[in-house]
């Protein structure tokens, strides 16, 4: 929409007027600020032409100033973002450095990346050597998983680090080691049919879980959190010696049912002493010894059926050994070193970007643009003074906070109104926009 002032319109020469557009939108729930359009009134044609030229120059300067300021604001915003990235990078680097110190790994302040690369190479080599070392493994063929409902044979679901404990627990569960564990009865029935009933199966959805032992329960020689008697032979729940590579929750269900509260101790004398003391206060579960003996929950021990054979007699039906703990520690250190290397490289990259941005802001071209902006702002101020105009941002505030204007007796055409503000400013209000 364009507005044109009618010829021979009344007004005072060289006076600044404002057109105030006040929106009236009944359907809008909030109030909109009025739009204020300032203009100068002249009754001399030549002067009006001069002022028009100045106004055009003012508009060009205003546009250039906006462009320069946008450039400088974008550059400053980018600079601030880069500073934030550098600060975040430093915090991350310091955090990882402290974690490495916990693992007794110190990184020099200079030549960091080459040092990290050498450390990584050495620790990866150590880890590979540990993985290659022979360790106990289960040679019982596992069941081919036809679907996600099959977990595998019990012998392959758990690992035990200690050789003596692995021997006696494997023997104790010898009749179950070949059993295939499934999540559903349907999967168990399918395996049963495929093997003509020759394969043992255990569906987890058929286990009554309320009778399963609490894995956090203390040993029976503790009563109400206090030591009832001092045991010998290092007693521990057999289930606590197991580690599960996969499906931890399901495996805890399986071995909680199979082992119950079975306890393992060093030898038969320690086991008999333990049982004799426990039965004074509560029921005593099955006891195993690291020497291969078993005392059943009813107290019976002795005989071939309660003595584990040597490891080589188990014919591979034995729980395998987990990866050595040192190998896991090396894995953690390798992961931390890789993270630290990435953090150092990223910090170096953002520092370079920041320095590059700072250098760019100090280039002759940017300094020249800053000087041009200052000159444009000075020229704009001079032109506005020549035009006798108030900057728009100032006039908006003054109009918003100005006292109520009074109507003058200056002649106006019918159905039009002109309001006079302070400083002899005139305001034309356009409503129903």
> Over the stretch 299-341, which tens digit does the pLDDT of each residue have?
999 999 999 998 888 888 999 999 888 888 999 999 999 999 9
Residue 325 is predicted with a pLDDT of 86
Mean pLDDT throughout 354-373?
Answer: 88
* DSSP state, residue 162: S
Q: Report the alpha-carbon distance of residue 229 to residue 92 in Å, rounded.
A: 50
| CA 159 to chain CA mean position, Å | 32
Query: Exposed, middle or buried: residue 136 (CB in 10 Å: 0-12, 13-18, 19+)?
Result: middle
**Whose structure tokens read 């050498």?**
118
Q: Report the alpha-carbon distance of residue 389 to residue 396 in Å, rounded.
A: 13
| % of the chain exceeding 90 in pLDDT | 43
Q: Of 204, 303, 298, 189, which Cα lies nearest the Cα of 258?
A: 204
Cβ atoms within 10 Å, residue 203: 18
**Whose structure tokens read 């009865």?**
185
Residue 33 is predicted with a pLDDT of 85
Sign of CA dihedral 111, 112, 113, 117: positive
Write out the two tokens for 332.
């953690």
CB 196 within 8 A of CB 185: no
Residue 36 is predicted with a pLDDT of 86
Q: What is the dihedral of CA 378, 383, 423, 34, to 10 degrees?
A: -90
Residue 389 is predicted with a pLDDT of 56
pLDDT at residue 432 tops 60: no
pLDDT at residue 433 tops 80: no
Q: Report the alpha-carbon distance of residue 13 to residue 17 in Å, rounded.
A: 11
Instruction: Tell me the per-residue pLDDT of 18-47, one tens digit each, with 9 for 90 and over.
Output: 888 888 887 777 778 888 887 777 666 677
What are the structural domain ranges in the chain?
A: 44-133+325-388, 150-323
**pLDDT band, very low/low/confident/very high, at 271 (cuts 50, 70, 90):** very high
414 or 214, greater pLDDT: 214
Instruction: Tell me the per-residue pLDDT of 249-263, one tens digit each, with 9 for 90 and over.
Output: 999 999 999 999 999
Mean pLDDT throughout 272-281?
Answer: 93
Residue 2 is predicted with a pLDDT of 66
DSSP element (H, E) containing 190: helix 185-194
For the entire predicted model, the pTM comes to 0.59
Instruction: Tell me the per-residue pLDDT of 407-426, one tens digit each, with 9 for 90 and over.
Output: 344 444 443 333 343 333 44
Write out the two tokens for 320.
């395998």
Residues 6 or more apart whose Cβ sits within 8 Å of residue 221: 227, 228, 229, 231, 235, 274, 277, 278
| CATH code assigned to 150-323 | 3.30.70.1620
Residue 112 is predicted with a pLDDT of 83
Residue 383 is predicted with a pLDDT of 82
Q: Report the alpha-carbon distance of residue 257 to residue 157 in Å, rounded.
A: 14
Phi-psi region of 303 (alpha: psi -120 to 50; beta: other; left: phi over 0): left
Q: What is the dihedral of CA 322, 326, 330, 332, to 10 degrees?
A: 70
């Amino acid at each position: 929409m364009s507005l044109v002032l009618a010829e021979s319109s009344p007004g005072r020469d060289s006076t600044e007027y404002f057109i105030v557009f006040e929106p009236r939108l009944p359907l809008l729930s909030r109030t909109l600020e009025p739009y204020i359009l300032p203009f100068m009134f002249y009754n001399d044609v030549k002067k009006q032409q001069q002022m028009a030229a100045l106004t055009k120059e003012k508009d060009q300067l205003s546009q250039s100033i906006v462009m320069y300021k946008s450039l400088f604001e974008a550059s400053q915003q980018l600079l601030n973002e880069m500073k934030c990235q550098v600060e975040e990078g430093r915090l991350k680097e310091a955090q990882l450095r402290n974690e490495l110190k916990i693992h007794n790994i110190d990184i020099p302040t200079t030549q960091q990346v080459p040092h990290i690369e050498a450390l990584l190479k050495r620790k990866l080599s150590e880890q590979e050597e540990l993985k290659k070392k022979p360790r106990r493994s289960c040679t019982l063929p596992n069941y081919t998983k036809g679907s996600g409902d099959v977990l595998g044979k019990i012998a392959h679901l758990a690992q035990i680090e200690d050789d003596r404990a692995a021997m006696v627990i494997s023997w104790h569960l010898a009749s179950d080691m070949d059993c295939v564990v499934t999540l559903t009865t349907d999967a168990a029935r399918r395996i049963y049919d495929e093997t003509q009933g020759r394969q043992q199966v255990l569906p987890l959805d058929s286990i009554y879980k309320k009778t399963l032992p609490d894995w956090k329960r203390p040993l029976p020689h503790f009563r109400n959190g206090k030591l009832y008697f001092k045991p010998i032979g290092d007693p521990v729940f057999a289930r606590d010696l197991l580690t599960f590579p996969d499906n931890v929750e399901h495996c805890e269900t399986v071995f909680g049912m199979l082992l119950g509260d079975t306890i393992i101790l060093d030898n038969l004398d320690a086991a008999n002493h333990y049982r004799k003391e426990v039965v004074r206060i509560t029921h005593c579960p099955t006891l195993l010894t690291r020497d291969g003996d078993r005392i059943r929950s009813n107290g019976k021990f002795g005989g071939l059926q309660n003595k584990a054979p040597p490891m080589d007699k188990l014919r591979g039906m034995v729980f395998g050994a987990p990866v050595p703990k040192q190998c896991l520690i090396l894995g953690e250190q390798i992961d931390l070193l890789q993270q630290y290397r990435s953090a150092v490289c990223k910090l170096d990259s953002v520092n370079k970007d920041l320095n590059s941005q700072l250098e760019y802001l100090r280039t002759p071209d940017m300094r020249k643009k800053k000087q041009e902006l200052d000159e444009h702002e000075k020229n704009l101020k001079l032109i506005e003074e020549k035009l006798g105009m108030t900057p728009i941002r100032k006039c908006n505030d003054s109009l918003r906070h100005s006292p109520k204007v009074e109507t003058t007796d200056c002649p106006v055409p019918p159905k039009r109104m002109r309001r006079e503000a302070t400083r002899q400013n005139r305001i034309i209000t356009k409503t129903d926009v």
